[in-house]
């Protein structure tokens, strides 16, 4: 019973953690790409990494935090342009392969030993080097606040200040996505997803709309990168291909082309993992499955779950089957 409660507390804590918020933000960005416009972006983690590096390196160079954030977002914008120009006129799988490759290139360059002075090589950059200016902004004061199972410092790293900012950003982005997707602009995007040629016949410049969507989702990805590294540290390998796959899993789980789908998906994604891990740790004797293996077992469950969701409920938890035509052209 005690252990069940522990698992429950772990799930509750992960549900509000800034890491979950970061995954949700990245999924919101991907939702604009994949859910609304039908672009197969397999490099969302690359956008996160670009944002994270842009932010951390600017702060370390002594720039004010607002400039650092702008630099991060502009970097993501340029990255989207570079990816979009050669591929958006081609069939969908070309974009998939190019974004996947480009994200890997960013990671490999970031972790290369040549740039150790800027990026910290494969060790990355520790949180204390760039966290200062953000912590200084806090008006939460010092001390600790306990709310039931949630016990955190008010301002310290991973504390309430980080949690609150992260979720406020999630809320604002949800509002933003809701607003733009019911605007004429958003309807054009959905039109492109359903039938690109029909939209083109209406005289819309499909290429330009796709590019705008790619940029918008990518910039949101960069915000996710900043939120992701603020409470922890910047490690290039934590934003690799697997991260992109997890973002996809969260998005599809919650429901693509819905406003709250990405957020719900991110929370459920971590909850399922911790739940499986907790249950396996408690009920399966360690001679059959040791602690390390329960973690891997949880990931196997995640992989199988992704397969099952896509096959049996492609619209996810919240989605509307009519809304989502899965086949990207």
Partner 1 sequence: MLAIVAIVLMVSLGSSSAQAATSDPTPAATASATAACATDAATGCLQGTIKLPSGDPAVGIKLAIKGGNLDTTISTGADGKWSQAITVAGPYTITVDTTSIPDGAVLDSAAKNPATVTGALNKNTGFVFKIVGGTTAADGTTTQTPDTDTGTGITFDRFAQQFASGIRLGLLLALAAVGLSLIFGTTGLSNFAHGEQVTLGGLLAYLFANVLGLNLILAAIISVVICAATGYFQDALIWKPLRRRGIGTTQLMIVTIGLSIALQYTYQYFLGASTVRIDQANPVTVDLGPVTLSQQSLISMGIAVIVIALVGWVLVRTRIGRATRAVSDNPALAAASGIDVDRIIRLVWTSATALAGLSGVLLGLVLNGVNWQTGLQLLLLMFAAITLGGLGTAFGALAGAMIIGLVVELTNLVLPGDFKYATALVILILVLLVRPQGIFGRRERIG
Residue 282 to residue 292: CA distance in whole angstroms: 13
> Would you state the structure tokens that stand for residue 41, as one six-digit string?
């972006």
Of these, 12, 63, 65, 96, which contacts partner 1 (CB under 8 A)? 96
Applying CB under 8 A, among 61, 74, 105, 202 the residue interacting with partner 1 is 105
Told to check if 328 binds partner 1 by CB under 8 A, we report: yes
CB count in 10 Å sphere of residue 66:
9
Residue list 287-316, contact with partner 1 (CB under 8 A)? 292-293, 296-297, 299-300, 302-308, 310-311, 314
Give CA–CA dist 229/211, Å, rounded.
27
CA distance 148 to 161: 17
Size of the site for partner 1 (CB under 8 A): 54
Taking CB under 8 A as the rule, does residue 91 contact partner 1? yes
Residues 251-290 that bind partner 1 (CB under 8 A): 252
In terms of CB distance, is 16 or 100 closer to partner 1? 100
For position 116 contacting partner 1 by CB under 8 A, the verdict is yes
Interhelix angle for 44-60 vs 206-229, to 10°?
A: 50
Per-residue x/- mask for partner 1, residues 152 to 181, rule CB under 8 A?
------------------------------
Instruction: Please provide the DSSP assignment of 79-146 as one string.
Output: HHHHHHHHHTTS-HHHHHHHHHHHHHHHHHHHT-GGGHHHH-GGG-B-THHHHHHHHHT--S-SSEEE
86 binds partner 1 (CB under 8 A): yes
Window of 5-13, 95-103, 135-143, 258-266 that interacts with partner 1 by CB under 8 A: 95-103
| Nearest distance from C-beta of residue 291 to partner 1, angstroms | 12
CB-neighbour burial class of residue 47 (10 A; exposed 0-12, middle 13-18, buried 19+): buried
Whole-angstrom distance, CA of residue 298 vs CA of residue 90: 37
Q: Which is nearer to partner 1, 16 or 255 (CB)?
A: 255
Using CB under 8 A, which of 97, 174, 180, 284 touches partner 1? 97
The answer to whether 65 contacts partner 1 (rule: CB under 8 A) is: no
- Name the E strands within the chain: 144-147, 150-153
Residues for the chain: how many in total?
Answer: 329
Minimum distance from residue 40 beta carbon to partner 1 (Å): 7
Dihedral, 181, 184, 187, 192 alpha carbons, nearest 10 = -120
Residues 6+ apart with CB under 8 A from 297: 276, 277, 280, 289
Judged by CB under 8 A, the residue of 30, 73, 77, 100 near partner 1 is 100
Among 2, 136, 146, 327, which residue sits at the site for partner 1 (rule: CB under 8 A)? 327
CB of 308 to partner 1, least distance (A): 8
Taking the complex as a whole, how short is the minimal distance between the CB of residue 48 and partner 1, in angstroms?
18
Torsion of CA 318, 92, 78, 204, to 10 degrees: -80
Q: Under the criterion CB under 8 A, does residue 40 sit at the interface with partner 1?
A: yes
Q: Which of 67, 74, 81, 90 binds partner 1 (CB under 8 A)?
A: 90
Burial label, 313 (beta-carbon count in 10 A; 0-12, 13-18, 19+): middle
Site for partner 1 contains 108 (CB under 8 A): yes
Residue ranges binding partner 1 (CB under 8 A): 40, 86-87, 90-94, 96-98, 100-102, 104-105, 108-109, 111-114, 116, 120-121, 123, 126, 128-129, 241-242, 245, 248-249, 252, 292-293, 296-297, 299-300, 302-308, 310-311, 314, 326-328
């Amino acid at each position: 019973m005690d252990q069940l409660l522990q698992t429950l507390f772990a799930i509750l804590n992960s549900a509000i953690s800034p890491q979950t918020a970061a995954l949700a933000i990245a999924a919101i960005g991907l939702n604009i790409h994949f859910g609304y416009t039908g672009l197969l972006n397999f490099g969302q983690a690359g956008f996160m990494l670009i944002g994270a590096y842009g932010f951390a390196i600017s702060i370390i160079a002594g720039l004010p935090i607002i400039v650092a954030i702008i630099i991060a977002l502009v970097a993501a914008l340029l990255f989207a342009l570079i990816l979009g120009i050669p591929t958006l006129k081609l069939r969908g799988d070309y974009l998939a392969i190019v974004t996947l490759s480009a994200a890997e290139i960013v990671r490999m360059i970031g972790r290369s030993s040549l740039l150790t002075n800027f990026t910290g090589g494969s060790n990355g950059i520790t949180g204390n080097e760039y966290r200062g200016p953000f912590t200084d902004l806090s008006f939460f004061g010092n001390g600790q606040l306990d709310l039931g199972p949630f016990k955190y410092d008010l301002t310290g790293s991973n504390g309430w200040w980080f949690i609150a900012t992260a979720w406020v950003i999630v809320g604002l982005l949800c509002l933003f996505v809701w607003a733009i997707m019911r605007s004429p602009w958003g309807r054009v995007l959905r039109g492109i997803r359903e039938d690109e040629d029909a939209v083109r016949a209406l005289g819309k410049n499909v290429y330009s709309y796709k590019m705008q969507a790619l940029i918008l989702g990518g910039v949101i990805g960069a915000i996710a990168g900043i939120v992701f590294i603020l409470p922890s540290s910047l490690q290039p390998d934590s934003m690799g291909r697997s991260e992109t796959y997890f973002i996809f899993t969260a998005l599809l789980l919650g429901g693509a082309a819905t406003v709250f789908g990405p957020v719900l998906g991110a929370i459920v994604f971590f909850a399922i993992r911790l739940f499986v891990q907790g249950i396996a740790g408690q009920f399966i004797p360690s001679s059959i499955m040791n602690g390390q293996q329960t973690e891997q077992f949880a990931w196997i469950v995640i992989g199988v779950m992704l397969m099952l969701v896509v096959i049996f409920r492609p619209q996810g938890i919240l989605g509307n089957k009519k809304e989502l035509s899965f086949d990207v052209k």
